[in-house]
Chain A
Amino acid sequence: MSAQVARISVERASKRFSSGSLTVFDGLDLAVRDKEALCILGPSGCGKTTLLRSMHGLVPLDGGRIVIDGAEVRAPRRNVAMVFQHFGLMPWKRVRENVAYGLELAGLPKATIDERVEGYIEMVGLRGFERAYPNQLSGGMQQRAGLARALAVEPDILLMDEPFGSLDALTREILQDELLRIYQLAPRTMVFITHSIEEAIAMGDRILVLSARPARVRELLQVDIPRPRTVASVIAHPRFIPLRDHCWRLLRERAA
């Protein structure tokens, strides 16, 4: 499987909300290996998203540290890209311009930008919609654009913040399959936040199950279902039901 090198390590990370009374997580440790897909699964409001935003340097920690490639994270890095639950597309930019956004900010030559934008729009299945504005697209198509924007900068690390959480069930499953296919083309380090057990099993090489706030690591599970995967093949796999039941029990037990 993947090399045992930690690409991202979270060391005794603590975060309280500004009032100080609400502890989001305290003394959290975890390591993300190179080129693995790690799913972080936890109940709503357990601080998964805050943890992911900290990994990207978007919110500062109150204690501990997060290290990527040997350097402590203080601000977003160029080799890390994020996909947002709310899509985060600029309503005033067409699909093409949204996908090109990160590349323009990176100051790449125009020819490179054009080539990459075209390639990733093709990859996520948005050909023909380059000139559409986001509000002309369905949620699923908007997130395809959000995905293309993140992939286009060709990051070493992809941070996925419940990317399919706001989509309807059918669209979600279609996009899960798309992501599995794209991931297969170029496996890279991916941290995938979700509150869906099925999604965590389908997407992850490992699943980190967090408890309700303050978030603690309940368990780190290996998903021993081979790739290439599709959602259907994962659900049909004999390991799926035992894994799902195990996650269910972990999530349902109240933190002691």
Chain B
Amino acid sequence: MSEEAKLLNVSYDPTRELYTDINAVFAEHYKARTGVSVTFEQSHGGSSKQARSVIDGLKADVVTLGAGWDITAIERAGLINPGWQEKLPYNSSPYTSTVGFLVRKGNPKNIRDWKDLTRPGVQVIVPNPKTGAAARWAFLALWGATANAKTHDLTTFQGLKDAQEAAHSARDFPVYQNAEARAVIEKFYNNNVPVLDTGARGATVTFAQKQLGDVLLNWENELWLALDEFGKDKFEIVYPSSSILGEPPVAVVDEVVDKKGTRDVAEAYLKFLYTPEAQEIVAQNHYRPRDVEAMKKYSSDMPPIPLFTIDEIFGGWPTAQEAFFADGALFDQIYRPAK
């Protein structure tokens, strides 16, 4: 192996800061262990757009995207071998996040839970699920919570194990037939959403900078970013009684690493994300670490709310995508004028 290696990590929008921190530490470790110095290139953007770039020829060694569906699309294009999601622990998602609310200081509209979002007069800023991973998680969170989806406490080993077993044994998904969830979703997007931004960061800017809306519905890490950027005296985070486990997965792009000869370092890089040291960095950047100890340490910032998983409740990404977000699927139907 050469003494130098170059890795391109193609990632989604909010992970800029996270991977800048992790790359520095990984490079140090890898150099000490193997003598190879690694330099990184990072690319960030909307999750689907990034996936499309890789499909269209961007030579990414690893992809770290916002939703499994986008990596599945790369897999279907023949660049990643099937079974990538079983290669690394926890669905190949070394860190997670969830969907929460950001409200204006003092919570003037008294937003406490999902049902408050569909109250008349409450305006919610959320991106378009067709153009952003965060928005798709938010849609699923609202749907699942309304349908009383079964949740887990994912801050304990037992909870993590239960969730995984439940996901594996889940066979039918009654949540899709839930009429109340459908009605709530339809009402919500038609009456309570004044603007649909194309991405998570755009929605944060609309809410925090342009001062539009009463609630921002977004990734937990994005809510924290708004607090850090715009001031804790302006906003506060509200956690609903339950939400979805957002799993942004990672994968090695087999086609690329085999050609470039970077498989070893790329695989080591993704495995490194699961080490206690990386998990600590993950938590500092307001993502939820899988590591139970790290999670406990940061539980005052990221309270252990009950979470449901896409695999157990919705049967995984391809099914959810087909039912909700594909061309002409439910999300399009919401906005179809009644015939």
Q: Do A and B bind each other?
A: no
List the interface of chain A (C-beta within 8 A of B): none
List the interface of chain B (C-beta within 8 A of A): none
